[in-house]
């Protein structure tokens, strides 16, 4: 059941306490009740039960629920019949309605710009460009003739042999409008010095850096 929402129904089950058999044909004699959040027990606005199917769903009856009758975190349903020896129970007797989700209920996590995902990504590129840590270095790629092997130069931090041995991928954050981020696997990485490494990309992959491209090398370092 959905909280504070119209168009829903309550189902009750009626049976004969003397025979323990489902009771059919008793719609006109059944009244349904509810208690919202453990409050007073009141009759439902719908006083005319609808029998589902006297042959294939014996003993089951439906009541329409008004929107206000579903506006609670806990709802107890009960019912009774004016017919002697007939017991009626809600199916189920207690429900805990769900709250309909119509949008984000909480602020997005890690939103430096706050306006949109696109704005976050743009702001994040600036943040990451100044970050250097073990296994994650920001830098630039040289614009050489070969698009399958290039030099990576870090902006800050130190490239170690352990880092080079564990680098597994390259992420290009392209600041130029109209180009999306690219993730390319590295076939080999060779350290030139503490701030440069030569990267060779897996067959079939090419990198074509343009002005203001920022590259991020990701991996682990022991």
100 falls within a domain: no
Domain count, the chain: 2
104 falls within a domain: no
Residues 126 and 209 both lie in one domain:
yes
**Residue 199 banded pLDDT, cuts 50, 70, 90:** confident
Residues 18 and 82 both lie in one domain:
yes
The CATH number of the domain holding residue 128 is 2.60.40
Share of residues in the chain with pLDDT > 70 (%)? 62
Sort strands 50-53 and 30-36 into parallel, antiparallel or unpaired: unpaired
* 188-196 average pLDDT score: 85
Residues 88 and 12 both lie in one domain:
yes
187 falls within a domain: yes
55 falls within a domain: yes
Domain that holds residue 89: 8-95
141 falls within a domain: yes
Residues 67 and 137 both lie in one domain:
no
Residues 85 and 124 both lie in one domain:
no
**Single residue among 64, 95, 126 that ends a domain in this structure:** 95
Residues 167 and 90 both lie in one domain:
no
**Residue 128 banded pLDDT, cuts 50, 70, 90:** very low
Phi, psi (5° rounding) for residue 193? -155, -165
188 falls within a domain: yes
The DSSP annotation for 56-110 comes to TEEEEEEEEE-GGGG-SS-EEEEEEESSTTEEEEEEEEEE-PBPP--S-SSPPSS
At residue 174, the pLDDT reads 47
User: Which is more confident, 88 or 218?
Assistant: 88
3-state secondary structure of 33: strand
Which residue, 97, 78, 101, 99, is CA-closest to 37? Answer: 97
Q: Each residue of 29-61: pLDDT tens digit? A: 999 999 999 999 999 999 999 999 999 999 999
80 falls within a domain: yes
Reply yes or no on whether the pLDDT at 97 is more than 60: yes
Residues 85 and 125 both lie in one domain:
no
**Single residue among 65, 95, 125 that ends a domain in this structure:** 95
3-state secondary structure of 16: strand
């Amino acid at each position: 059941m959905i909280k504070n929402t119209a168009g829903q129904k309550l189902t009750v089950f009626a049976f004969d306490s003397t025979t323990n058999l489902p009771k059919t044909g008793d719609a006109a004699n059944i009244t349904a009740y509810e208690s919202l959040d453990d409050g007073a027990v009141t009759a439902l606005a719908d006083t005319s039960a609808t029998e589902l199917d006297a042959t294939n769903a014996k003993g089951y009856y439906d009541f329409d629920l008004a929107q206000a009758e579903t506006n609670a975190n806990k709802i107890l349903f009960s019912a009774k019949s004016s017919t002697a020896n007939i017991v009626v129970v809600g199916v189920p007797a207690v429900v805990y309605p769900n709250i309909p989700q119509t949008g984000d209920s909480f602020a997005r996590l890690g939103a430096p710009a706050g306006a949109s995902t696109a704005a976050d990504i743009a702001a994040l590129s600036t943040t990451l460009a100044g970050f250097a840590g073990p296994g994650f270095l920001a830098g630039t790629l040289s614009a050489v003739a070969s698009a399958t092997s290039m030099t990576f130069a870090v902006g800050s931090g130190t490239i170690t042999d352990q880092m080079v041995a564990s680098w597994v991928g390259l992420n290009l954050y392209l600041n130029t409008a109209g180009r999306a981020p690219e993730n390319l696997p590295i076939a080999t990485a060779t350290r030139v010095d503490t701030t440069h490494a030569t990267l060779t990309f897996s067959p079939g992959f090419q990198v074509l850096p343009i002005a203001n491209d920022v590259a991020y090398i990701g991996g682990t370092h022991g």
